[in-house]
Structure 1
Amino acid sequence: MFNSGQGTISLELLEKVRDIDTIIVPISGLYNRKDFFETLSTGGGLISSVTLAAKTINPSICILAAEPKGADDVARSKVAGKIVTLPETNTIADGLRAFLGDLTWPVLRDLVDDIITVDDEKIVEVMRLCYEILKVAVEPSGAIGLAAVLSDRFQQNPDWKNCNKIGVVLSGGNVDLGVLWESFSK
């Protein structure tokens, strides 16, 4: 399901920085919700809403999804051209362990330009960076967009050399500090 509230993320970014050329958004999969009449598969709702709003304003804007390597069903789906479901997921980004839904798949397939997968080590590194430099506690699922921008895959990819004004969606502050400190010591 698409959420106009989530789409306002694009509106606010593009209002503040009109010449933004790239937006990077965390991506998750299937979320089942009991509606009054039916169960809806709405995984990928945040990025779908952000994408639709951004591409309506600027059709040439690049939208990149950030996904953990241990839960990369969207990246695999994009390559396969159909929804791929993983037998299991393994990532610190617990908010991104769900699977892709069928309602948002056409938006992801057709309008999201690419998926950047990031390993848990990079996610934790960026969480630490956010806390130490920005003084913001960001959960693993929310830090993944910045982790994607700072990854070698993004930095060294010639397809993204023209991405100069990048907006990154940082979301969520639900951090289990015990798990976080333990991951820092590994």
Structure 2
Amino acid sequence: MDKQSLLEVQQRISPFIHNTPVLTSQLLDEMAGAKLFFKCENFQKMGAFKMRGATNAIINLTKEEQERGVVTHSSGNFAQAISLAARNLDVKAYIVMPNNAPLVKKEAVLNYGGLVTECEPNIKAREQASQDIVDNKGATFIHPSNDLNVILGNATAAMELLQSLPDLNFLLSPVGGGGLLAGTALAAHYFGNHCVVLGGEPKAADDAFRSMKSGHIETNISANTVADGLRTQLGDINFPILQKYVDHIVCVEEHEILKAMKLLWERLKIVVEPSSAVAFAVVLKEKEYFKNKKVGIILSGGNVDLETIKFS
């Protein structure tokens, strides 16, 4: 992995994604005591950064693999990302979703052309259903976060930010499965100027924080957090990248996530999902650490069910 290969990834996927806007707010800067730059992946196609990794993963398949299709298991953004990316590249997408997934998410996948298979709502059932499709259809499995091509595609969000703002002191993203934070860290390493990378994580699902402390991948017994996109855990491909290139991870409480999300809705006038607000919550929590610095924040997505959204 080097700078040139990341630039090639960026060039390869650019016809299929948006170079998303960067927003600022004088009021939020004053609240944080720092200069903040929000990279708005909520404006990405299908509403989240995952479009980048999904597109890069499918593009990197051989012609024969593309003809047999791809499969993933997801109830959220990656299901939509794989479905849309596959449609754009004329590839079949088989999506395994738990049978209790919100109807709005299932409909979004179907609208993007994904072929949905429902299963029981547990990881064993998801993995078995995915394996059955691999065995029967010859489709290639693509993991939502623990896949190098997914990680490299994700890196392009931070690359775009650093290409426009090369003198950022800090760069933050939320961490769940680790695919976005790993990509962000690689981008900062190759394109930043001594840019320090931090992850933000809910205290209620702090496996990445504990993993960085212990040196091996930890798991959560429960993950009862409003940041539903961050309930997954690290993998053996992205974790070594975090260990090498991420300075540390900061945990935030549920009320801090909700406060940060409300501020983003109110002050930036944008719709972001709770997971997106976690990195901003870190900046508000650790004001002294970021004081008078230039801080880039990846807002990971904006796919929320407005019927269930709560700000307190």
Cross-structure match for 1:36: none
> How much has 1:163 moved relative to structure 2?
6.9
Q: Does 1:90 align with 2:224?
A: yes
- The alignment's TM-score, normalised by the length of structure 1, stands at 0.82
Q: 1:61 to 1:5 in 2, by over 3 A?
A: same
Give yes or no for contact 1:22–1:163 (8 Å, CA) kept in 2. Answer: no
Q: CA deviation at 1:139?
A: 0.3
Taking every aligned residue pair, what percent have the same amino acid on both sides? 40
CA offsets per residue over residues 78-130 of structure 1, 9 Å max, x none?
A: 11111111211110000000111111111111211010111111111111111
| Pair 161,125 (structure 1): closer, same or farther in 2 beyond 3 Å | closer
Q: Structure 2: which amino acid aligns with 1:115?
A: I
Partner of residue 257, structure 2: 123
C-alpha distance in 1 between matches for 2:228 and 2:292: 28
Within-5 A mapping of 1:131-142? 131-142=265-276
User: Larger Cα Rg: Structure 1 or Structure 2?
Assistant: 2
Q: CA RMSD in A?
A: 1.6
1:112 aligns with 2:112: no
Q: Give the structure 2 partner of residue 170 of structure 1.
A: 299
Q: Which residue number in structure 2 is paired with residue 63 of structure 1? A: 197
Q: Which has the higher helix share?
A: 2
Alignment match, 1:18? 166
Give the whole-Å Cα distance in 2 for the aligned partners of 1:114 and 1:50. Answer: 13
Gaps of 5+ in 1: 30-43
Q: Give the match's secondary structure for 1:179.
A: coil
Whether contact under 8 Å (2:166, 2:192) holds in the other structure is no
3-state secondary structure, aligned to 2:250:
strand
Q: Which has the higher contact order (CA 8 A, sep 6+)?
A: 1
Secondary structure of the equivalent of 2:307?
Answer: helix
Task: Name the stretch that deviates more: 55-64 or 77-86.
Answer: 55-64
Q: Which amino acid aligns with 1:17?
A: L
Structure 2 gap segments, 5+ residues each: 1-146
Q: For residues 73 and 107 of structure 1, what CA distance do their matches in structure 2 show?
A: 16
Asked if 2 retains the 8 angstrom alpha-carbon contact of 1:21 and 1:163, the reply is no
For 1:164 and 1:7, the matched residues in 2 are separated by 22
* Number of the residue aligned with 1:40: none
| Partner residue in 1 for 2:184 | 50
Give the aligned length: 164
Aligned partners of 1:163, 1:58: CA distance in 2, in Å? Answer: 18
Deviation at 1:57, TM superposition (A): 2.0
What residue in structure 1 maps to residue 287 of structure 2?
155
Task: State whether residues 130 and 138 of structure 1, in contact with CA within 8 Å, keep that contact through their aligned partners in structure 2.
Answer: yes
Q: Is the 8 A contact 2:158 2:298 kept in 1?
A: no
Between 1:93-102 and 1:170-179, the stretch displaced more is 170-179
Whole-angstrom distance in 2 between the partners of 1:48 and 1:127 = 23
Quote the Cα distance in structure 2 between the aligned partners of 1:90 and 1:115.
19
Q: Where does residue 210 of structure 2 map in the other structure? A: 76
